[in-house]
C-alpha cells in the first residue's frame, strides 16, 4: 500500500481519510481499489488529527470495532481547524441506536450500522465529497467577497480623499471646503458661536505667470498653500485652494478680531518667505486678504459670508494690495 505522504501528493477529486479498526479498513480498501475518483488514506485515531492539515482530506470515515464509542473522536475533529467542516461518516457494524444517536449528537454527518455494498459506499462518499466541495467553494467565494469589499472600501476612502484634495497644492479643494463650511455654519448656528472666513488672493499673479512661467507659478501656489496651512492652530481650522490664485481659510468659533490677527500673520509669513516677483514695485509675492465674520442665524446662509469676504478682497486691492480688509457679514 502507498504511504500516506505519497497518496497526499496526488491530485485526486476525493481524498478519503479512513480512521479505525483494521478489519473494516481492509474491507473498504478492497471496495475502493481501482476506483479512479477516490483516493483512500488509512490512519489511526492517534495520527488522524496530526495528519489532517497535511493530507487535506475531502471526506473523513471513522470505522468502529465492536461497541467502541466515537463521540470523543468526532468532537475532537469538530474542534480541529482542518477537520471542523469536513463530512464525517461513521461506520459501526453491529452498533445499537444509542451509538447512532451519540454519533450524530457529537457532529457526525452520516452513519452506517453495517458494512455497505460498494455501490452504496461510493454513492455516499461521492455525495459527501460534492457537498464538501460546494461548501468549500462557497466559503472561498465568501472570503473573496469579503476581501473585495474591504479593498473597495479602502479604495473608496482613497477616492474620497483624492476627490477632496487639490491636485496641485495637496490641500483641500473647493468641493471639500464647501462641505466643511456648510457643516461648520450649521454647527455655529446651533451653538451660537461666530464663524469667520478669509479669502487670500495672490497679487498680480497673472503677470507673475506670464514672466516667470507656469512651473514657477505652480511652485508659488504650492508654497503659499503650505504657508497658509502652517498658520492654523486648531484642528477645526481649514485652509483650502478656493479657485485659481485664491485660497480660503475657515475659522470656526472665531470673531472678526481673531480672524484679522490670523490674516495679518499670513501676510507677515508671506513677506518673510520673500518669493521674488517680476513686478518692480512689488519685488516679492504678496497677497490681498478679505476677512468676513458673522454670527450665523436661521435667516442667513454661508453665501452672505462668502460675498462679504469677496467684497473685502476687492477693497484690499483697491487700497494698494498686500493688505487686509475686514467686514462683518
Please indicate, yes or no, if residue 154 is contained in any of the structural domains.
no
Same domain, 120 and 195: no
Check if the beta carbon of residue 72 is closer than 8 Å to that of residue 48: no
DSSP 146-158: HHHHHHHHHHHHH
- Which residues have C-beta within 8 Å of that of residue 309, sequence separation ≥ 6? 197, 198, 199, 248, 290, 291, 292, 327, 329
Same domain, 186 and 309: yes
Kind plus residue range of the DSSP H or E element containing 32: helix 22-32
Domain limit, last residue, from 90, 119, 140: 140
HSE-up (13 A, CA, CB side) for residue 78: 15
Same domain, 99 and 214: no
Same domain, 184 and 296: yes
Same domain, 131 and 209: no
- Range ranked top by mean pLDDT from 146-160, 240-254, 278-292: 240-254
DSSP state of 114: S
- Interval 281-315: pLDDT, tens: 779 999 999 999 999 987 778 999 999 999 999 99
Check if the beta carbon of residue 287 is closer than 8 Å to that of residue 267: yes
Q: Which of 165, 166, 190, 183 is nearest to 302 (CA)?
A: 183
What is the rounded distance in angstroms from the CA atom of residue 322 to the CA atom of residue 313? 10
Same domain, 25 and 126: yes
Same domain, 197 and 320: yes
Same domain, 189 and 312: yes
Same domain, 49 and 98: yes
Check if the beta carbon of residue 20 is closer than 8 Å to that of residue 43: no
Same domain, 83 and 191: no
pLDDT at 313: 97
Same domain, 10 and 113: yes
Cell numbers of 226, please?
503650505
The number of domains in the chain is: 2
Check if the beta carbon of residue 185 is closer than 8 Å to that of residue 208: no
Return the bridge partners of 276, or none. 284
Check if the beta carbon of residue 325 is closer than 8 Å to that of residue 319: yes
Q: Which residues of 168-185 are buried (b: 16+ CB within 10 A; e: fewer)?
A: ebebbbeebbbebbeebb
Its pTM stands at 0.56
What is the rounded distance in angstroms from the CA atom of residue 131 to the CA atom of residue 229? 61
Please indicate, yes or no, if residue 261 is contained in any of the structural domains.
yes
Q: What is the mean pLDDT of residues 246-267?
A: 97
- Interval 57-98: pLDDT, tens: 889 988 887 667 788 888 988 898 888 888 999 888 766 777
Residue 13 has pLDDT above 70, yes or no: no
Same domain, 219 and 115: no
Kind plus residue range of the DSSP H or E element containing 41: strand 39-43
**Where in the sequence is the domain holding 36, given as residue range(s)?**
4-140
Please indicate, yes or no, if residue 148 is contained in any of the structural domains.
no
* CATH code for the domain in which residue 88 is found: 3.40.50.2300
Please indicate, yes or no, if residue 282 is contained in any of the structural domains.
yes
Amino acid at each position: 500500500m502507498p504511504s500516506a505522504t505519497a497518496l497526499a501528493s496526488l491530485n485526486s477529486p476525493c481524498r478519503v481519510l479512513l480512521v479505525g479498526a483494521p478489519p473494516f479498513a481492509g474491507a473498504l480498501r478492497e471496495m475502493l481499489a481501482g476506483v479512479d475518483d477516490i483516493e483512500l488514506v488509512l490512519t489511526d485515531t492517534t495520527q488522524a488529527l496530526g495528519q489532517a492539515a497535511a493530507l487535506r482530506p475531502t471526506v473523513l470515515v471513522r470505522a468502529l470495532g465492536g461497541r467502541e464509542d466515537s463521540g470523543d473522536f468526532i468532537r475532537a475533529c469538530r474542534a480541529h481547524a482542518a477537520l471542523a467542516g469536513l463530512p464525517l461518516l461513521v461506520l459501526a457494524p453491529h452498533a445499537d441506536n444509542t451509538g447512532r444517536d451519540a454519533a450524530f449528537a457529537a457532529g457526525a454527518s452520516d452513519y452506517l450500522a453495517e458494512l455497505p455494498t460498494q455501490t452504496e459506499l461510493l454513492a455516499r462518499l461521492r455525495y459527501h465529497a460534492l457537498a464538501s466541495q460546494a461548501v468549500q467553494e462557497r466559503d472561498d467565494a465568501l472570503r473573496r467577497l469579503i476581501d473585495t469589499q474591504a479593498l473597495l472600501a479602502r479604495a473608496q476612502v482613497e477616492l474620497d480623499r483624492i476627490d477632496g484634495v487639490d491636485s496641485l497644492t495637496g490641500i483641500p479643494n473647493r468641493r471639500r471646503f464647501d462641505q466643511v463650511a456648510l457643516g461648520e455654519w450649521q454647527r455655529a448656528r446651533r451653538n451660537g458661536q461666530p464663524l469667520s472666513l478669509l479669502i487670500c488672493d495672490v497679487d498680480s499673479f497673472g503677470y507673475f505667470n506670464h514672466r516667470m512661467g507656469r512651473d514657477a507659478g505652480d511652485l508659488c501656489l504650492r508654497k503659499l498653500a503650505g504657508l497658509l496651512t502652517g498658520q492654523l492652530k486648531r484642528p477645526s481650522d481649514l485652509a483650502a485652494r478656493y479657485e485659481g490664485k485664491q485660497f480660503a481659510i475657515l475659522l470656526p468659533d472665531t470673531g472678526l478680531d481673531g480672524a484679522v490677527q490670523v490674516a495679518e500673520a499670513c501676510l507677515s509669513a508671506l513677506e518673510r518667505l520673500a518669493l521674488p516677483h517680476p513686478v518692480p514695485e512689488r519685488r516679492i509675492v504678496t497677497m490681498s486678504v478679505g476677512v468676513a465674520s458673522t454670527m450665523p442665524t436661521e435667516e442667513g446662509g454661508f453665501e452672505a459670508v462668502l460675498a462679504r469676504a469677496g467684497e473685502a478682497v476687492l477693497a484690499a486691492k483697491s487700497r494698494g494690495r498686500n493688505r487686509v480688509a475686514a467686514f462683518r457679514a
